Amino acid sequence: MSLPSDALTNPVPARPTANPGNPPAEFLPPFNTLPDADGHVHGHGDGGSHGHDSLRTLDYAVIQQCMHCGFCLPTCPTYDATKKERNSPRGRIALMRAIADGQMDATKTFAEEMYFCLGCLACTTACPAGVDYAQLFETARATAEHAGVLQSPSRDWTRRLLLKGLFTRPRLLRALGRMLRIYQASGAQWLVRKLGLTKLLGSRLAKLEPQTPQVRAQFSHQLIQPVEKPADDQVKYRVGLLTGCVQDLVFSDINRDTADALLANGCEVHTPPVQACCGSLHGHNGEPGTARMLARRLLDTFDVFKLDAIITNAAGCGSHLKTYNRLLADDKQYAERAAEWSRKCKDINEFLVEIHFRAPTAAPAGIPVDQLTYHEACHLCHGQKITAQPRKILKSIPGLKLTELSESTWCCGSAGIYNIVQPEMSQQLLERKLKHIDKTGARTVATANPGCHLQIANGAAARGKALHIAHPVSLLAAAYRAE
Amino acid sequence: MSQAAAATDLIAALQRHFPADALITKPEDMTAYSYDGTPMLKGMPSAVVFPTTTEEVATVLRLATESGTSVSTRGSGTGLSAGSIPNAGDIVLCLARMNQILELDTANLTILVEPGVINANVAAAVEAEGLFYPPDPGSMRVSTIGGNVAENSGGLRGLKYGITRDYVMGLEVVLPTGETFFTGTKCVKDVAGYSLKDLFVGSEGTLGVVTKILLKLLPKPAARKTLLAIYEKMDEAAATVSAIIANKIIPCTAEFMDRTTIKCVEDYAHIGLPLDCDAVLILESDGHPAAVDDEAQKMEALCKQHGARSVKLAADLEEATKLMTARRMAIPAMARVAPTTILEDATVPRSRLAEMVRFVQKTAEKYNIQVGTFGHFGDGNLHPLFLANELKPDEIHRVHEAVGEIFDHAVKIGGTISGEHGIGLTKKAYLPGAIGELNVRVLKELKRVFDPKGILNPGKIFEADQPGMEGTATFTHTITRGITPEHLIPQT
Ligand SMILES: Cc1cc2nc3c(=O)[nH]c(=O)nc-3n(C[C@H](O)[C@H](O)[C@H](O)COP(=O)(O)OP(=O)(O)OC[C@H]3O[C@@H](n4cnc5c(N)ncnc54)[C@H](O)[C@@H]3O)c2cc1C
Ligand code: SF4
Ligand code: SF4
């Protein structure tokens, strides 16, 4: 192929045409006038009525798939904690079914239950009947949001701020990240905490404040060129690299490592400098309309037909990115591209193993890999059924000794924004995870999702434990660099 | 006083004894306790209570008896005959939080557990001590020992090791009055009085609530070998099992799956089952290594003599375990091809197995319904699973017609209508035909001795006839749109 390389991605993400007057992202209009997914401005709607946005209109077969055998019960962290059927996958599906059958309304209790669910998808791994819990759970949360039963001024404000205000605007997110960085680096954070000013934030956000991760000095676009070629110019694959939101702000170095590992394996890496959020946060939190809008934007950013693969290194994003085909199935303009996207979207671990990555010949410098354990991100092992690949990568690294973690596939309590909205359950799960990590005697924990990464790092720090957390691909890249 | 008013009073009384977390009444919670593993049925309780001690169980039962409110006991709700589906307005007594292993006695080879302990947890705990608890129902990772006892559950090792009953040495039981007693001892021999414990095994929550269980253990077999035999014809698989037993070999497992089952299981488990055959047999021999080798060789030869296309020996324990685990998934895995899976449990003497398999197929054809058959061949325990859609009442009706004929035939050739799933609600209409009116009368009289007011799971196994309880075995609604209970529970 003799295409100019930069033709494979769009430098600037296309805006939805229905919304030509979109103001520069840096200027935030009042929330109630924020355009929604499909460019419409209205109160709470999520634009366009898609059959799968409500339990009442969802294909009934998806609900019927559950034959209530209960095989998922022992794998569900919330059921394990309470032994209450309503807190189990089977119980939650029964509630969804009661709504679909018109026997129950989407009540406040129902909505709360849907937010008590971690969305960890352990139930889908356990389920022999092939229940698509991810779809059910997204539809259930959308139904709950549509019913408006959880509405409260502060919740609405926070949700619109996060879901519609921030996580739809990559530039704004970076601007905010930069401010946060200054705040953290200048020592102002210390001063603010000391003066108790965080109280002004309101209790939810104040609790969140100590969890605020350290923002990196440089974001992905400052570390990665839009197009990078392997050193020897021998291009075997052309791939797109997704930089993510949290990953971009807090773990831009993991993005650099990902690019390096790909380059070392003959990939030409295309990384558009400005990328939309993938929409997983929205899809998982009852905003399917916004999720669809963001999906379209990402599809506009990459020319998926000309790339061999689209690479993500964040498990939570990957598990959502791979469902673009379902998300946009009814969209005449995008359905075909979305289907191709779902076929080509690959987690970095998955892709490297698929292309028979080269085993490094040196041990990574400065990282204690001789005592390492692996925590499986839910959305990697349950969401994408990727379990062998990260281990294969880890085991290929010279000097690395992997001790298996018991309950490695049990949720660590991060679960997207779960640790913010359900702090109690989240802490319980974190405690359990750290105990198991302790037992392995590991000094380094490898994991492939920014949420888990932060959760475990914060947990260890709060308990005064010295733990090194690393993405498998970072260890691989470090090993290549040491050669 | 009406049932509803009695239940309201009872809940108020229970609130004085249980914290909010252990007594729930929200409609959303009731929805989540309105079903078990049985397809299509649903009944809304008025409260669910979670005791953690025998005394608390006694309190619930005493107060329930006083108020005349019926109680449905529940373990994990995996039952397949609607045993733990409450009648409308019942109090559900859920034992999931009574889940402690109380004592593992390696000198007497027994284990004492609370009823909410999961079967697989018992198996793992005793294995760590080099011991063995053989009953392993397909639901072993989910179902409770209490539920296993109440249903007298079987499993994949029934042929050689028997069923739950064979391992129950003693039970602590709470009667509806709240009085509590222990029946049985750690003694291998014990003939002091009637063997009451045996009455409670398989009583489906209708006689008393089991609050402690003393189980017998065996030493863990030293070796184990697992074979997978592949057949072009189902008949040949059945003939092989008969031949193995006729040759005086009792394998610990002789499981069977037909083509439809194999496809669904493989779809989920990806363990490389052949998709182009009519049937497979999973055979397992365990015990002394030399004996195991010998048995495995003989079984392999018999498989081939009776037409097996090929016989594969599982390479190691891991492969063998995968095979067994996959087989355990058969029931839910079949839900992949049809939304409603109606499972039957007819059992016949082993010698009539092949004949019964043919009869099931013929009957399914006659009624134009899809069926997948698997089961515990060595026990003569067949699981024909009808693949239907509950949204089509006509199809469901045809399934019930077919099931009726299958039951009649099983009884005619010396079999029974349920090998291990129990009678519950779904099969009670067939019970008199299977065991006779007098037999049913004796059951009812026995129930009256233990539960004179009829508050425990009324309407399960047979119609309740205590005053005030007759009307309780009705459902608020069924799970599905458009179907009425009459479609689902064959009427007596
Ligand atoms: C996929 C699947 C596979 C299965 N495989 C098998 C199998 O191979 N063999 C087999 O035999 N069964 C099998 N079953 C059926 C079921 O799992 C068993 O009947 C099991 O023993 C029920 O246990 P549970 O804890 O779920 O009890 P539940 O379903 O909650 O209750 C079952 C009955 O027991 C009563 N009960 C429960 N606990 C007590 C107690 N402590 N005291 C008094 N009464 C009580 C209830 O009132 C009810 O009548 C299977 C079910 C499923 C869904
Ligand atoms: S979700 Fe799957 S495993 Fe859980 S009860 Fe339903 S069918 Fe069974
Ligand atoms: S997603 Fe996780 S928390 Fe939610 S029902 Fe499934 S297993 Fe339970």
What's the CA dihedral at B23, B29, B34, B37 to 10 degrees? -100
A459 lines ligand 3 (CB under 6 A): no
Is residue A168, in this structure, part of any structural domain at all? no
Q: How remote is the CA of residue A70 from the centroid of ligand 2, in Å?
A: 5
pTM, 2 dp: 0.90
Q: How far apart are CA A92 and CA A95, in angstroms?
A: 5
Q: How far apart are CA A327 and CA A329, in angstroms?
A: 6
- SS3 at position A223: helix
- Closest residue CA from atom 7 of ligand 2: A66
A271 shares its domain with A390: no
Q: How remote is the CA of residue B136 from the centroid of ligand 2, in Å?
A: 20
A385 shares its domain with A348: no
Q: Which pLDDT value is given to residue A37?
A: 40
Is residue A310, in this structure, part of any structural domain at all? yes
Q: How far is the alpha carbon of A144 from chain B, nearest alpha carbon, in Å?
A: 14
Q: How far apart are CA B429 and CA A213, in angstroms?
A: 64
A321 shares its domain with A386: no
Phi, psi of B481 (to 5 degrees): -65, 140
Q: Which of A58, A82, A84 to mutate to test the interface with B (most CBs of B within 10 A)?
A: A84
Q: Which pLDDT value is given to residue B92?
A: 98
Strand-pair category, B209-216 with B110-113: antiparallel
Q: How remote is the CA of residue B460 from the centroid of ligand 2, in Å?
A: 25
A224 shares its domain with A348: yes
Q: Which pLDDT value is given to residue A27?
A: 30
A69 shares its domain with A123: yes
Range of the domain at A283: 220-354
Q: How remote is the CA of residue A131 from the centroid of ligand 2, in Å?
A: 7
Could you report the per-residue pLDDT of A105-145, keeping only the tens digit for each? 999 999 999 999 999 999 999 999 999 999 999 999 999 98
Domain end (from A321, A354, A387):
A354
A238 shares its domain with A345: yes
Is residue A164, in this structure, part of any structural domain at all? no
Q: Which pLDDT value is given to residue A8?
A: 62
Domain end (from A324, A354, A384):
A354
Q: At what angle do helices B54-67 and B3-15 cross, to 10 degrees?
A: 150
A350 shares its domain with A385: no
- Which among A431, A418, A420 is positioned nearest to A459, based on CA atoms? A431
Q: How far apart are CA B374 and CA B280, in angstroms?
A: 9
Nearest to A68 among B35, B96, B390 (CB): B35
Is residue A48, in this structure, part of any structural domain at all? yes
B475, B385 in Cβ contact below 8 A? no
Is residue A329, in this structure, part of any structural domain at all? yes
Which residues are registered as beta bridge partners of A380?
none
Smallest CA–CA distance from B118 into chain A, residue:
A74
Which residues are registered as beta bridge partners of A269?
A228, A239
**Angle CA B51–B53–B58, to nearest 5:** 75
Domain end (from A147, A172, A206):
A147
A381 shares its domain with A346: no
Atom of ligand 1 nearest to the CA of B328: 3
B211, B196 in Cβ contact below 8 A? no
Phi, psi of B371 (to 5 degrees): -140, 145
Q: Which pLDDT value is given to residue B216?
A: 98
- Which among A69, A4, A118, A83 is positioned nearest to A410, based on CA atoms? A118
Is residue A174, in this structure, part of any structural domain at all? no
Which CATH number fits the domain that encloses residue A80?
Answer: 1.10.1060
DSSP-derived secondary structure for A64-104:
HT-----TTGGG-HHHHHH--GGGSHHHHHHHHHHHHTTSS
Tell me the residues of A at the B interface, defined by beta carbons under 8 Å apart.
Answer: 60-61, 64-71, 73-74, 83-86, 88, 90-91, 94-95, 97-98, 101, 103-104, 107, 109-110, 113, 127-130
Atom of ligand 1 nearest to the CA of B148: 21
Q: Which pLDDT value is given to residue A366?
A: 86
Q: How far is the alpha carbon of B41 from chain A, nearest alpha carbon, in Å?
A: 11
Q: How remote is the CA of residue A315 from the centroid of ligand 3, in Å?
A: 17
SS3 content of chain A, % helix, strand, coil (to 5): 50, 5, 45
CB contact under 8 A, B339 and A64: yes
From the CB of residue B182, how many other CB atoms can be counted at a distance below 10 Å?
A: 14
A104 shares its domain with A75: yes
- Look up residue A202 and give its amino acid: G
Which CATH number fits the domain that encloses residue A290?
Answer: 3.40.50
- Closest residue CA from atom 3 of ligand 2: A127
Nearest to A73 among B29, B39, B142 (CB): B142
> pLDDT per position in chain A (483 positions), as tens?
333 444 466 544 443 333 333 333 323 333 333 333 443 333 333 334 455 589 999 999 999 999 999 999 999 999 999 999 999 999 999 999 999 988 899 999 999 999 999 999 999 999 999 999 999 999 999 999 898 888 887 777 777 777 776 777 777 766 766 666 665 655 555 545 555 544 444 444 445 445 556 666 677 777 888 999 998 888 999 999 999 877 777 788 999 999 999 999 999 999 998 888 889 888 888 888 989 999 999 999 999 999 999 999 999 999 999 999 999 999 999 999 999 999 999 999 999 999 999 999 999 988 999 999 999 999 999 999 999 999 999 999 999 999 999 999 999 998 877 877 788 999 999 999 999 999 999 999 999 999 999 999 999 999 999 899 999 999 999 999 999
Tell me the residues of B at the A interface, defined by beta carbons under 8 Å apart.
Answer: 24, 26-29, 31-37, 39, 50, 76-78, 94, 96-97, 99, 118, 139, 141-143, 267-269, 329, 331-333, 335-336, 339-341, 389-391, 477, 479-481
Q: How far is the alpha carbon of B179 from chain A, nearest alpha carbon, in Å?
A: 27
CB contact under 8 A, A88 and B32: yes
Which residues make Cβ contacts (< 8 Å) with residue B49, sequence separation at least 6? Answer: B14, B18, B22, B23, B60, B91, B92, B93, B94
Provide the domain count of chain A.
3
Q: How far is the alpha carbon of A311 from chain B, nearest alpha carbon, in Å?
A: 26
Q: Which pLDDT value is given to residue A34?
A: 38
- Record the tokens describing residue B423, joined without a space: 């009678």
Taking contacts as CB-CB distances below 8 angstroms, the residues of chain A near B99 are 83
> pLDDT per position in chain B (492 positions), as tens?
677 888 899 999 999 999 999 999 999 999 999 999 998 888 899 999 999 999 999 999 999 999 999 999 999 999 999 999 998 899 999 999 999 999 999 999 999 999 999 999 999 999 999 999 999 999 999 999 999 999 999 999 999 999 999 999 999 999 999 999 999 999 999 999 999 999 999 999 999 999 999 999 999 999 999 999 999 998 899 889 989 999 999 999 999 999 989 998 998 889 889 999 999 999 999 999 999 999 999 999 999 999 999 999 999 989 999 999 889 889 889 988 899 999 999 999 988 888 898 899 999 999 999 999 998 988 899 999 999 988 888 898 899 899 999 999 999 999 999 999 999 998 998 999 999 999 999 999 999 999 999 999 999 999 887 776 654 444 434 445 545 555 555 554
Is residue A37, in this structure, part of any structural domain at all? yes
CB contact under 8 A, B39 and A85: no
Which residues make Cβ contacts (< 8 Å) with residue A113, sequence separation at least 6? Answer: A86, A87, A92, A95, B28
DSSP-derived secondary structure for A350-392:
HHHHHTTPPPPSSPPTTS-TTSEEEPPPHHHHTTS---HHHHH
Q: How far apart are CA B11 and CA A448, in angstroms?
A: 49
Q: How remote is the CA of residue B105 from the centroid of ligand 2, in Å?
A: 36
Q: How far apart are CA B208 and CA A230, in angstroms?
A: 74
Is residue A450, in this structure, part of any structural domain at all? yes
A281 shares its domain with A234: yes
CB contact under 8 A, A95 and B339: no
Taking contacts as CB-CB distances below 8 angstroms, the residues of chain A near B34 are 94
What chain B holds in terms of domains, given with CATH numbers, is: 3-96+443-487 (3.30.43.10), 101-219 (3.30.465.10), 223-331 (3.30.70.3450), 334-432 (3.30.70.2740)
Q: Which pLDDT value is given to residue A182?
A: 64
- Which among B102, B94, B83 is positioned nearest to B30, based on CA atoms? B94
C-alpha to C-alpha distances, A285 to A137, A140, B424, nearest whole angstrom? 9, 10, 41
- Look up residue A439 and give its amino acid: K
